[in-house]
Amino acid sequence: MVCLGNICRSPVAEGVLRSKIEKLNLPVEVDSAGTSNYHIGECPDRRSILSAHRNGIDISGFRARQFTVTDFDAFDLILSMDMRNLENILKLARNENDIRKVQLLLEYSHPGKKLNVPDPYFGGEEGFNTVFSLINNACDKLVENIKNQLQAS
Ligand code: 4NP
């Protein structure tokens, strides 16, 4: 899960997906990162911690890191919160295989719409509720998709 700072959106996405994966006991590794180096080592934004906590998910122990080219080797799927970060991830792609791994998270809930999870950093509390709800709905679809792929393999 990738956003800009790895303190607002992608930690929520990591926590939500991790929780759904663990509930179903699926053999899937989940992580998150930011395309920028702005907040490396920091814990998630207080408002993200609160919105996850209200939904029974603890992300307070997460620490921000920057997306690196080695993430293309470590992960099968690289899900961006928005188009700007997707473009910056693609700038690091080395080949077609890397490119194929990169998608917008909201493609799972809103296929073909090219919808972004809006950046809530400079807004109020309400933006973080919107972020949680968009991410949660997309992750429901994503987990179904992963489950079907694992069953087929
Ligand atoms: P995120 O939100 O990409 O969802 O973690 C942001 C966090 C920090 C900044 C922008 C967006 N910033 O400009 O520092």
How many CB atoms sit inside 10 A of residue 140's CB? 14
Q: Which of 4, 3, 6, 12 is nearest to 49 (CA)?
A: 12
Report residue 53's pLDDT band, with 50, 70 and 90 as the boundaries. very high
Residue-level pLDDT at 21? 98
How many whole angstroms separate alpha carbon 98 and alpha carbon 111? 21
Instruction: Calculate the alpha carbon distances from 35 to 22, 39, 74, 91, 124 in Å.
Output: 26, 10, 16, 11, 23
pTM more than 0.95? yes
- Ramachandran class of 64: left when φ > 0, alpha when ψ lies in -120 to 50, beta otherwise: beta
Q: What number does the ligand 1 atom closest to the CA of 6 have?
A: 5
Share of the chain above pLDDT 90, in %: 98
pLDDT of amino acid 37: 98
**Which of 1, 8, 84 maximizes ligand 1 atoms within 8 Å of its Cβ, making it the mutation to test the pocket?**
8
CA 15, CA 8: separation in Å to the nearest integer? Answer: 11
For residue range 87-135, list pLDDT tens digits in order.
999 999 999 999 999 999 999 999 999 999 999 999 999 999 999 999 9
Pocket test for ligand 1, best of 37, 121, 130 (most atoms within 8 A of CB): 121
Contacts of 113 by beta carbon, 8 Å cutoff, 6+ apart: 106, 107
Cα angle for residues 61, 11, 137 (degrees, 5° grid): 130
What value does the mean pLDDT of the chain take?
98
Per-residue pLDDT at 99: 98
